[in-house]
Amino acid sequence: MALGRGLGELLGEVETAYENNIDIDTNQIKEVLVDDIKPNPYQPRKIFDEEKLQELSESIKNHGLLQPIILVEDENFKYIVVAGERRLRATKLANIDTIKAIILDIDEKKLREYALIENIQRSDLNILEIAYSYGSLINEHNITHDELAKMVSKSRSSVTNILRLLSLSVYTQQMISANKITHGHAKLIIGLSEDEQKMVVDSIIGQRLSVRETEKLVRDIKSKDNISKNNTKEIKKYDFSPLKSLIKELKDDNFNVRITKDSINIKITSQDDIENLLKYFNKKDKN
């Protein structure tokens, strides 16, 4: 899927220019009223660390904003943030009225795609936020895991494993988002029932289990599940009442007949038993 000149590339150029004190085209950077900017509705990050925002706000007060945010024009509002929502929030927190920005000409169709890719590549999204971003890109742009892997510079297996986190229960996902359990823990829980996931997650948190300890716990649970499934098969009991008369005849003919939960056993103790059994069924066939 061709993206053209990616947003990540442009941001990298701007950042490098500032680091090396290279003048960039001042026509690219504008001072924009913060009240004229609205957040990107496609922003995958929903929670921002308030303490870190406060730290960034103080830095902007003392040193100014070193890297401009990236905006696009909007017909219903003046501008929408494509990249730099955290910087915008920190600027507002510092009670500064304007912010440095670069205005890009991006059609609406690409807005979500750029926002997702920019966040995946450049911010500290937790693993679940990345999973949802991957899912959104795949669903909305109809791309394969291989194509997504190339877009975000990851291996296909890495992309697939991250996407599998979306199959976890709501409770487990909440604990991942809250950084209560790690990606290493989470991927071990995939495939467990909702109740089993909760039990494992609570054990990880309460007992501070390592990934290796969690792996053993999950292995034990799966082993018990297999035993339980086998036992379920063993306890099936069939209704042999339709064969009641046949069983009675066999017993009357001195056959040692034993009924189990899922079978009728005729015990053979001698060659005579075999011959008598053959005579019995031959007699039945003639009748």
Q: How many other C-beta atoms are found inside a 10 Å radius of the C-beta of residue 128? A: 22
Please state, in angstroms and as integers, the Cα–Cα distance from residue 40 to each residue in 70, 134, 247, following that order. 11, 17, 77
Q: What share of the chain is helix, strand, coil (3-state, %, to 5)?
A: 60, 10, 30
- Annotated active-site residue in 15, 51, 85, 147: 85
Distance CA 87, CA 285 (A): 91
Distance CA 95, CA 78 (A): 20
> Taking CA 30 as the corner, what is the angle to CA 27 and CA 31, rounded to the nearest 5 degrees?
155
Contacts of residue 116, Cβ cutoff 8 Å, sequence gap at least 6: 42, 44, 133, 136, 137
Active site residue 196: no
Strand partners, 83: 70
Strand order of the sheet with strand 79-83? Answer: 29-33, 98-104, 69-73, 79-83, 37-38
Just list the catalytic residues: 85
